[in-house]
């Protein structure tokens, strides 16, 4: 399996990293994509990918912190992205639920990171919360028909999923697919072509139902794969293998 979206640099995971990595290995998670959320975090991600062989990384500025994006921050991302184990740009996108940065700043930082991903030929990791219409409109306008990437921790319906697929992007399914009230998300997880699905934890957030409210970690990505297998009437192995191959191809990860 590949956990396609984790935040291993978060102090809740970082403080227990040996245990977290051991349990991930026991759960047959071969690769963890650890995702940067801001300038200081991006540096921590770049350091971690050098220290831990099973970890690859992404550099970006989360919409919560969009107001910190300057030319210098973007230049730092370009420099860090030259590292062969930095495999994506993000997470970026729009969050109109918490609105921690002004919306015009969120949109500007999102467009800048889309352009960066295109210039560097790297996939884009997109966050969209209560902002699907604007997120899709910007991706459609700025993508130039050559975007690759993932709408991570997908929270839309089938209509949103269809537009993400039409952009050529993947859909990342996280722990909420196991929550009782996630009917719409289960529909998406059932009907999207399997070769366009990724599994992820978004840890330390969004633990699956059985650990809900506790700290999430990459080993628990198996509960996401297990739920997708149950929904689609497939074996766990097929979902684990196919989603890992999808992520390996998207992020250009060898040897999986
Ligand atoms: Ni995230």
Determine the distance separating the centroid of ligand 1 and the alpha carbon of 153, expressed in angstroms: 8
Determine the distance separating the centroid of ligand 1 and the alpha carbon of 92, expressed in angstroms: 9
Determine the distance separating the centroid of ligand 1 and the alpha carbon of 238, expressed in angstroms: 25
**CA–CA distance, 224 with 211 (Å, rounded to integer):** 12
The whole-number average pLDDT for the span 200-215 is 97
Determine the distance separating the centroid of ligand 1 and the alpha carbon of 7, expressed in angstroms: 7
Domains of the chain: 2-251 (3.20.20.140)
Indicate the pLDDT class of residue 254, thresholds 50, 70 and 90. confident
State yes or no: pLDDT of 223 exceeds 60.
yes
The whole-number average pLDDT for the span 154-167 is 97
How deeply is 153 buried, as exposed, middle or buried, from its count of CB atoms within 10 A (0-12, 13-18, 19+)?
A: buried
Determine the distance separating the centroid of ligand 1 and the alpha carbon of 62, expressed in angstroms: 8
Whole-model pTM over 0.95: yes
Q: Which residues surround ligand 1, an ion (CB under 5 A)?
A: 202
State yes or no: pLDDT of 208 exceeds 70.
yes
How deeply is 161 buried, as exposed, middle or buried, from its count of CB atoms within 10 A (0-12, 13-18, 19+)?
A: buried
| Res 255: pLDDT | 60
């Amino acid at each position: 399996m590949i956990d396609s979206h984790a935040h291993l640099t978060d102090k809740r995971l970082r403080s227990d990293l040996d245990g977290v990595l051991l349990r991930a290995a026991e759960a047959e998670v071969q690769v963890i994509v650890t995702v940067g959320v801001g300038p200081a975090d991006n540096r921590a991600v770049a350091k971690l990918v050098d220290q831990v062989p099973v970890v690859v990384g992404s550099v970006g500025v989360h919409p919560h912190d969009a107001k910190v994006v300057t030319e210098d921050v973007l230049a730092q991302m370009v420099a860090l992205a030259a590292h062969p184990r930095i495999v994506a740009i993000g997470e970026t996108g729009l969050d109109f639920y918490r609105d921690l940065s002004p919306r015009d700043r969120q949109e500007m930082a999102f467009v800048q990171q889309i352009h960066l991903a295109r210039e560097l030929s790297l996939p884009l990791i997109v966050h969209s919360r209560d902002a699907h219409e604007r997120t899709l409109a910007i991706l459609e306008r700025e993508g130039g028909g050559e975007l690759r990437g993932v709408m991570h921790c997908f929270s839309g319906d089938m209509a949103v999923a269809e537009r993400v697929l039409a952009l050529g992007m993947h859909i990342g399914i996280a722990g909420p697919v196991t929550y009782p009230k996630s009917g719409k998300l289960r529909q998406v997880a059932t009907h999207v072509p399997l070769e366009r699905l990724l599994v992820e934890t978004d840890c330390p957030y969004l633990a699956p139902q059985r650990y809900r409210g506790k700290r999430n970690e990459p080993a628990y990505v198996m509960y996401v794969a297990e739920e997708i297998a149950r929904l689609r009437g497939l074996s766990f192995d097929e979902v684990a293998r196919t989603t890992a191959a999808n992520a390996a191809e998207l992020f250009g990860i060898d040897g999986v």
